[in-house]
Chain A
């Protein structure tokens, strides 16, 4: 079930009737939320509900056992069990085929043709999100950052919380469990902000679907496009993935607000970043902070002069989290490399002045270089294979391409660039000054209605969110 479909609209209407008018106390509300979340998930495929609930139950009891265990070794064993279960689920459903194919390719390259059959299993929607969310709970309990919660229903309801179940943000147990424990009544002012976020999310998603047209065309055509059109395609994909993912997140946060929950920000105008490090503080914040807290720190963080290695491993695995393909690994490695380079340059005396300068021209140069690198990264992310990615990057840097420009090439480039900019300006406004709009009732509802109408008019509910596949 996708947020921008009529089915979700009717689902939400029925849900809100029960949640808001029938079940008025904590316990019935919690059960209502849990059952609705499972229905929401089951609408896609009911057979994967046991996997979701089962992994949650396992982590719930593992955390209890961990808390009851006085011996540190035993605690560690329980943690390893949780890690094995969660990563095992991911390994089987998400990475097994990739591993099998890679082994087969390797054997083939050394002249041994092994007929290895892939599993070809369906990838459960949202698996990367809920396994990470569940894992964070057991790690927090192991580290002593969180006491295990009493209340299995609360825990499963938090894990399966439908606004963020299938595409994040990845919630931390310490953030969501207390809210599940005492479900709040939304305040009207907050609800208005929820409506605004839902509308902004829909607008971004609709724009993303339109940007998919030049993006798909460019990544499919590759060699037969001019340099400008190739750049347009890459820029369009940058806009598409941002609009698609952050649009989904906005809707998730907005819906959660309507139910009385608070979900933290997942994007903070990422394409305005002034360095690759800055980009990861703004892009998919819940994942990057998860990777930092649970992987990078676990690897040793900045200690023992192993920062470069740890950054690289973290980014590599971060890339792999997005998908089981060499292109995602390459994307992660690329970001690992540019973050490392940023750290290296920052430590060089030659760049110190430049790094600390706050002048507009310096900031523009930093932004341009960062944005250029992010765009190059997206080529690996979107390309169907490594060969295509290399070809596309080559074409992006071909001066005086022999291919004739399409009829509206410059117009499409300009429209794409303007849309990406507009979306960021809109997000900046929503983050900084949404309350100004929300205080002007007439204008606020006008914006909501016109925004919704536009999305209803041209929004394509058949286009799934890109991040569902992760």
Chain B
């Protein structure tokens, strides 16, 4: 048996002298280094030039996260409403606090509703929130957590795949990243590369962005308004922007603005004329055609009526509740009002929803409060098929929440 490399050691003529070898490999190594450094630098320049960075992608989430030390330091008892963009649009902390103050209760509440975050990402963020509260030994008096059925569907999960790596690098801590690296070396190195070299922007996000532009998933204008309505909508939209700039000259475009406690403006601050313009604006945006288009969009992008739930998203949701239970006196899970004029669950969807609710309730020991069809909120209080409208829906729903939870606060 011959395990040697035969007579090769006797003839190293091809392999060159050590000096020759080192010289050529030095050139190769130098070329690899220079090419990669320059190419990576070019990538960073291109990303920055297009505003593709952490703030551009998850600005609101990161701003809210950065505000946590100040929130923890607030003197009053704390309430946090945690969820999706439906929470962002539907809960007014300042109205909530003011109404409770009128009842003699000093509460400071915050809107932690984030668009585009499915429960998987919300789970990661809730861990970061819990870490800060637990470290400072601070408790929430009440944690309101939204269970949004269509955020937990397989369709929603699959459509968010291109964001996973980027979001993980922004929301996971070093221990979690290290654990991924140990479990899957390729993925771990990939994530560290995105975090430290690519400024948190994965290639998938960029490819997907261009792919969406080139390969639009569906027509967004199946139902059309007449031209007069369309023109009026544009005109009023521009007018509202102008009025906003006039009324809030100091606002710098923060996505999660501390003085507003993470939500938007409130009617008391707005001029009477502005509120009139809003009324007109809603009249031309909440048209039947707009609503029907939005419904089709929601069906395609979230499976909103049939609701095939993604098991890992349900698990993530359970984790969110458990994370909040670590630092909250009371945790309530609620389902926000639904625009029943346009969104009707299928029989199978209803059945799946019941099963998902049972699973969550069993795992967390919390009964989910269903606010989907409360009388306080009517279909004309929605700006589309899912989100409550500003100065109407948000006020009505916040009012409802005050009545619902005032006693326990």
The interface of chain A, by Cβ under 8 A from chain B, is 1-2, 5-7, 9-10, 12-13, 16-17, 19-21, 24-27, 29-30, 43, 149-154, 181-188, 191, 195, 209-210, 213-214, 217, 258, 260, 406-408, 411-412, 415, 445, 448-450, 452-453, 456-462
Supposing A26-B8, A457-B206, A458-B206 touch, asked if A213 and B29 sit within 8 A by C-beta, the answer is no
A160 to chain B, nearest CB (A): 15
Q: Are A191 and B31 in contact (CB under 8 A)?
A: yes
Residue of A with least CB distance to B19: A24
Partner of B186, one of A43, A195, A407: A43
Considering the chains assembled together, what is the distance between the CA atoms of A425 and B207 in angstroms? Answer: 24
What number of residue pairs across chains A and B have CB atoms under 8 A from each other?
A: 167
Q: Is the CB of B36 within 8 A of A452?
A: yes
Query: Which residue in A20, A43, A407, A448 is a CB contact (below 8 Å) of B28?
Result: A20
Q: Which of B19-49 contact A (CB under 8 A)?
A: 20-22, 24-29, 31-32, 35-36, 38-40, 42-43, 46-47
Which of A7, A152, A183, A411 has a CB less than 8 Å from the CB of B15?
A183
A455 to B5, CA, bound (A): 39
* A210 contact set on B, CB distance < 8 A: 207, 210-211
Contact of B207 among A149, A150, A195, A460 (CB under 8 A): A460
In-complex Cβ contact of B6 among A154, A187, A458 (8 A): A154
Q: Is residue B204 contacting chain A, with contact meaning CB distance below 8 A?
A: yes
Where the two chains meet, the residues of B that have a C-beta atom closer than 8 Å to any C-beta of A are: 1-6, 8-9, 11-16, 18, 20-22, 24-29, 31-32, 35-36, 38-40, 42-43, 46-47, 165, 185-186, 189-190, 192-193, 197, 203-204, 206-207, 210-211, 214-216, 219
A26 in contact with B12 (CB, 8 Å): yes
Question: Which 10 A-B pairs give the minimum distances between C-beta atoms?
Answer: A20-B25, A6-B193, A453-B39, A185-B16, A453-B42, A452-B39, A7-B189, A26-B8, A184-B14, A24-B18
Q: What B residues does A408 contact at CB under 8 A?
A: 214-216
| CB pair A449 B35 closer than 8 Å | yes
Given A21-B25, A458-B207, A184:B190 Cβ within 8 A: no
- Measured between beta carbons, the chain B residues less than 8 angstroms from A461 are 190, 203
Known contacts A6-B189, A195-B35, A456-B203; decide if A188 and B8 are in contact (CB<8 Å). Answer: no
B21→A24 contact, CB < 8 A: yes
Residue of B11, B14, B29 touching A16 (CB-CB under 8 A): B29
Contacts of B20 in A (CB 8 A): 185
Nearest B residue (CB) for A17: B29
**Interchain nearest-CB distance for B263 vs A (Å):** 36
In angstroms, Cα B186 to Cα A10, docked, is 11
Q: A445-B35, A456-B39 known; 18 other A-B pairs, CB under 8 Å?
A: A5-B190, A6-B192, A10-B189, A24-B18, A30-B8, A43-B185, A181-B6, A184-B15, A185-B21, A186-B24, A188-B27, A449-B38, A449-B42, A453-B38, A457-B46, A457-B47, A458-B206, A459-B203
Q: Which of B32, B39, B47 is the one whose CB lies under 8 Å from A13?
A: B32
Task: Indicate whether A6 sits within 8 Å of B36 (C-beta atoms), given known contacts A26-B12, A151-B4.
Answer: no
Question: Do B15 and A25 touch across chains, with their CB atoms under 8 A apart?
Answer: yes
Sample (7) of A-B pairs whose CB atoms are under 8 Å apart: A6-B189, A20-B25, A153-B4, A186-B24, A191-B28, A195-B31, A449-B38
CB atoms of A453 and B8 under 8 A apart: no
Shortest C-beta distance, A35 to chain B (Å), equals 14
> A27 touching B9 by the CB < 8 A rule?
yes
Interchain CB contact under 8 A, A214 and B215: yes
Nearest-CB distance from B152 to chain A (Å)?
23
Complex CA gap A247/B36 in Å reads: 19
Shortest beta-carbon distance, B8 to chain A, in Å? 4
B5 contacts A30, C-beta separation under 8 Å = yes
Q: Are A460 and B189 in contact (CB under 8 A)?
A: no
Q: Once bound together, how far apart are the Cα atoms of A187 and B23, in whole Å?
A: 10
Chain B residues, Cβ within 8 Å of A152? 1-3
B104–chain A nearest beta-carbon distance, Å: 56
Inside 8 A of B18's CB, which chain A residues have their CB?
Answer: 24
A6 to B189, alpha carbons, bound, how many Å? 6
A17–B26 Cα gap in the complex (Å)?
9
Residues of B contacting A184 in the complex (Cβ-Cβ under 8 angstroms): 14-15
Determine if B24 and A188 form an interchain contact, defined as CB atoms under 8 angstroms apart: yes
A26-B9 in contact (CB<8A): yes
Collect the chain A residues with CB atoms within 8 Å of residue B190's CB: 5-7, 461-462
Residue of A nearest to B18 (CB): A24
Q: Within the complex, what minimum Cβ distance (angstroms) separates A210 from chain B?
A: 6
Q: A462: nearest residue on chain B (CB-CB)?
A: B204
Query: How near does chain A come to B167, taking the closest CB pair, in angstroms?
Result: 14
Q: Is the CB of B216 within 8 A of A407?
A: yes
- Are A209's CB and B207's CB within 8 A? yes
- From B209, which residue of chain A is reached at the shortest CB distance? A458
Which A residues are CB-close (under 8 A) to B13? 182
A460 touches B29 (CB 8 A): no
For the complex, what is the distance from the CA of A1 to the CA of B184, rounded to whole Å? 11
Q: Given A6-B190, A16-B29, do A457 and B35 touch, yes or no (CB 8 Å)?
A: no
Distance (Å) between the CB of A56 and the closest chain B CB? 13
Contact assessment for A27 and B8 in the assembled complex, using a CB-CB cutoff below 8 Å: yes
Residues of B within 8 A of A43 (CB): 185-186
A9 CA to B42 CA in the complex, in Å?
18
Within the complex, the shortest CB–CB distance from B50 to chain A, in Å, comes to: 10
Most chain B CB atoms below 10 A, which of A13, A16, A214, A449: A449
A286 to chain B, nearest CB (A): 24
Say yes or no: B42 contacts A186, CB within 8 Å: no
Inter-chain contact A20/B204, CB cutoff 8 Å: no
Question: Considering residues A2, A214, A411, A460, which has the most beta carbons from chain B within 10 angstroms of its beta carbon?
Answer: A460
Inter-chain contacts of A185 with B (CB < 8 A)? 14-16, 20-21, 24
Q: A452-B39, A453-B39, A460-B204 are in contact. Are A187 and B24 (CB under 8 A)?
A: yes
Q: Is there contact, CB below 8 Å, between A181 and B215?
A: no
Q: How far is the CA of A99 from the CA of B282 in the complex (A)?
A: 63
Distance, CA A17 to CA B215, complexed state (A) = 44
Residues of A within 8 A of B32 (CB): 12-13, 16
* Residues of chain A contacted by B24 (CB below 8 angstroms): 20, 185-188, 191
| CB of A248 to closest CB in B, whole Å | 16
Given A5-B186, A191-B27, residue A182 in contact with residue B21 (CB < 8 A): no
- List the A side residues contacting B15 at CB < 8 Å: 24-26, 29, 182-185, 260
Closest to A459 in B: B203
- A377, B55: Cα distance in complex, Å: 47
Q: Is the CB of A453 within 8 A of B43?
A: yes
Question: Measured between alpha carbons, how far is A449 from B15 in the docked complex, in Å?
Answer: 29
Give the docked Cα–Cα distance between A149 and B31 (Å). Answer: 36
Chain A min CB distance to B126 (Å): 26
Complex-state Cα separation, A459 to B11, whole angstroms: 43
CB nearest to B193 among chain A residues: A6
A50 to B: closest C-beta gap in Å? 17
| Cβ contacts under 8 Å, A191 to chain B | 24, 27-28, 31
A1 and B2 alpha carbons, distance in the complex (Å): 31
Residue on A with the closest CB to B25?
A20
Asked if B2 contacts A406 (CB within 8 A), the reply is no
Report the Cα distance A152→B3, complex, angstroms: 5
B204 neighbours in A (Cβ, 8 Å): 460, 462
Given that A210-B211, A458-B206, A462-B190 are contacting pairs, would A151 and B6 also be in contact in the complex, using a CB cutoff of 8 Å? yes
